[in-house]
Structure formats: C-alpha cells, structure tokens
Amino acid sequence: MDKIIKLHDKSFSPFISKEKIENEISRVARQINKDYQGKKPLLVGILNGSILFFSDLLKQLDIECEVAFLRVSSYKGTETTGNVKKVLGLDKDINNTDVIIVEDIVDTGITLENIFKDLSSNNPKSLKVATLLFKPKAYTKNYPIDYVGFEVGNEFLVGYGLDYDEIGRNLDEIYIIKENTMHNIILFGPPGAGKGTQSELIQAKYNLTHLSTGDMFRFHMKNDTALGKKAKEYMEAGNLVPDELVIKMIENKLDESNNSKGYIFDGFPRTTDQAIALDELLSKKGSQINSMIALEVEEDELVKRLLLRGQESQRKDDQDESIIRNRMVVYNKETAPLKDFYSNQDKFIGVNGLGTIEEINERINEAIDA
C-alpha cells in the first residue's frame, strides 16, 4: 500500500491498509456477537457504499441474523448534497425486530437521520448503527453510533466501498484525497545567471528540497549503483545519458524524500521532451510543476560574470569567451524553448537577474509568494 492512485481528476494516497480494516471488522464483529447472543437481528446494509464492509462483517458473525438493504444517496463528487433520496426501499417487516444499520461511513449524519426516521416508523424492537468509518467533527446529529471501526477526520476518502463519482469502490484498501500542497519550482536561466546561489536561498526560506541532476549523477556513479553503472556506460562511450535514465534517478530521489514540501529542479528539464516526461512523473506522484522561474540576464553581462568566475575558480570553460558564447548558443537553441512550453501552461515567470544577490532573491520570493 504505497502508491498514489488517480480517479477521474483527483489523486489519492494510501490511508488505511487492508490488514487494519480486517482487524477492526473482527473487533466490531466480536462486540456484535456478544451483544446479540441469543437474538436474531436484521442487518440493513446501506447501498452502495457498505457492500464490502457488510459482506466481511457478515462472515464473522456467529449469531443467527437476517439481511436486507436500503439504497440512498446524498453525495455528488466529493461533497454531500444535503438531499437524501431513497432509491430502493426495505422489503422486510421490521416490527418488534432488532435492527442494525450497517454503513460504510457516517459524516454529517444527514443520510443516517433519514434512515432512522424511516425505520423507526416501522416499530423496530431496537435500532443500532454499525459503521466502518465515523467523522465525529463533521457529525451534526444526536443519534448514537454504536459500533465504529475507525474515527477519521473530514478529508474525502475512497476505496473499500467508498466511491468518487461511482468509481473506486472495488479497492481493497482506503485512500485519502491528496491535496497538492507541495510547491515545485524549476529555476531556469543561462550559465552565469546565478541559479546555484539563488537555489540555496530559496531552499532555506521555503524548506524545499534542492534536486540537481548533476548531484544525482555524481552520487550514483560514486556509489556504483545500478543507475550509476548504466549512466557511466553511456558517458564512457561518448553518448548522452538517455532521458529515461535521468527520469528514473529523479523518481528515486522523489521517493526518498516524499515528505518534502516541494522541490527546486536545477539542471532539469533541459528540453521539451524532458519537460513532458517530468510532468508525467509528477502526475503519477499526484503533484505538478507550479512555476518555472527564469533569471533573465543579457548575454554580455553573463559573459562578464563567467569570465570573472573563471579567474576565481580556475574553471577552464569559464576562462575562454568563445567557449562561453558557444554555451549561450547551445542554451538558446536547446533550452530556451522551454519558456514556450511553460508559458502555455501559464507557469512561466521571468525575473530580472540584475542587481545584488539580495535584490534578485527578493524578486524571486515575490514571484513564489504570488
């Protein structure tokens, strides 16, 4: 139980495992067996949501009992409508009968109230409620909930009988809606724009995880991982490392730090194909790129900065102006088209990259906060 699932337009993450569900149903069944020893209750399952809970609960009851069903509905999408419609009525006489209403979930209690009123009018001997899930903070009624598997919060849940617009009921575990609270940024710009410096400042302020493809390559090759060995084979043969391998390294990094508040992508994507692959990967994880922040600096200023950096660092590729300008050509040809890709998604943000480090960082922060 470790995967994000997607139903319609929503993503859901694991919440309650199959094993925990089985344990709680066994506990509830033991209590019902004890309370109804020597009696013959009627279990009324509320369709459609209770089907799995009803079935598994019934299997563990060792008392005599009968079954019946009601079908009602008060949900549309992820919100309760407040209007309860009985679709399929009870076909048994419950006069002087011990009745147990079996629900998948009780939240506001609107549906339960209507069921209580309807069944009470038929003079049952007793009327109790068994539910797999109960949302006490959402509950607005006074009817007692006698048997509860799990108390949960107000988040929307799916699986094990619960649906999202009629799909997801067949899942054997329960998932919780995954709101995209992560903020994923691509920090973009040509060589010398100051991405490394600004990445550190953004990382510290927003508690994001810095994800550098260069760092990942070095890690995997230094530690001789399976991915590192494959990357080394391509590089030693003079070939570019294929996008599929880079994406796999990124996926590993995402899985290692899945509690992160978000990521700063540095050095990836470099092409439109890589951007598409990254979107697909993040979508699978229930996330997305929120913004592409581009540091915009004129070429002559970039050359000036890199030549100065070359004097300080002794990096050969930063000491030859012709090499530097060729890097700009490659950047504009291969990487700059990403501006159009993210502009079409309304995610491109250009930031003036001139000024002091603090001034540039303030502009970036304003863009992120906006």
Q: What is the pTM of this model?
A: 0.52
For residue 235, pLDDT beyond 90: no
From 32-46, 70-84, 152-166, 227-241, the region with the lowest mean pLDDT: 70-84
Reference 124, options 68, 46, 72, 74; nearest CA is 68
Structural domains present in the chain? 5-177 (3.40.50.2020), 185-369 (3.40.50.300)
3-state secondary structure 200-242: HHHHHHHCCEEEEHHHHHHHHHHCCCHHHHHHHHHHHCCCCCC
CA distance 255 to 23: 29
- Give the confidence band of 179 by pLDDT, cuts at 50, 70, 90: low
Predicted confidence at residue 101, as pLDDT, reads: 97
Q: Is the pLDDT of residue 77 over 60?
A: no
Kindly report which listed range (10-24, 222-236, 302-316) carries the lowest average pLDDT score: 302-316
Region label for 35, one of left (φ > 0), alpha (ψ between -120 and 50) or beta (otherwise):
alpha
- Convert the pLDDT of each residue in 22-62 to its tens digit: 999 999 999 999 999 999 999 999 998 999 999 999 999 99
Catalytic residue positions, numbered: 103-104, 107, 156, 169
pLDDT tens profile 272-321: 889 999 998 887 777 889 999 989 888 888 888 888 888 877 777 677 88
Instruction: Count the neighbouring beta carbons within 10 Å of the beta carbon of residue 224.
Output: 9
pLDDT for 9 beyond 60:
yes
Residue 87 pLDDT > 70: no
H or E element that contains 192: none
Name the most confidently modeled range: 74-78, 133-137, 323-327: 133-137
pLDDT 10s digits, 320-366: 888 888 888 888 887 778 888 999 888 999 999 899 999 999 999 99
Rounded Cα–Cα distance for residues 9 and 322 (Å): 50
Both tokens of 268, joined, read: 């990836």
Q: Where are the alpha helices (DSSP H) in 60-107?
A: none
Residue 259: which pLDDT band, with cuts at 50, 70 and 90?
A: low
HSE-up of residue 192 (Cα within 13 Å, Cβ side):
25
Share of the chain above pLDDT 70, in %: 93
Name the H helices within the chain.
Answer: 18-35, 51-59, 110-120, 195-206, 213-222, 226-236, 243-256, 272-284, 299-313, 321-330, 338-344, 357-369
pLDDT band at 174 (very low <50, low <70, confident <90, very high): very high
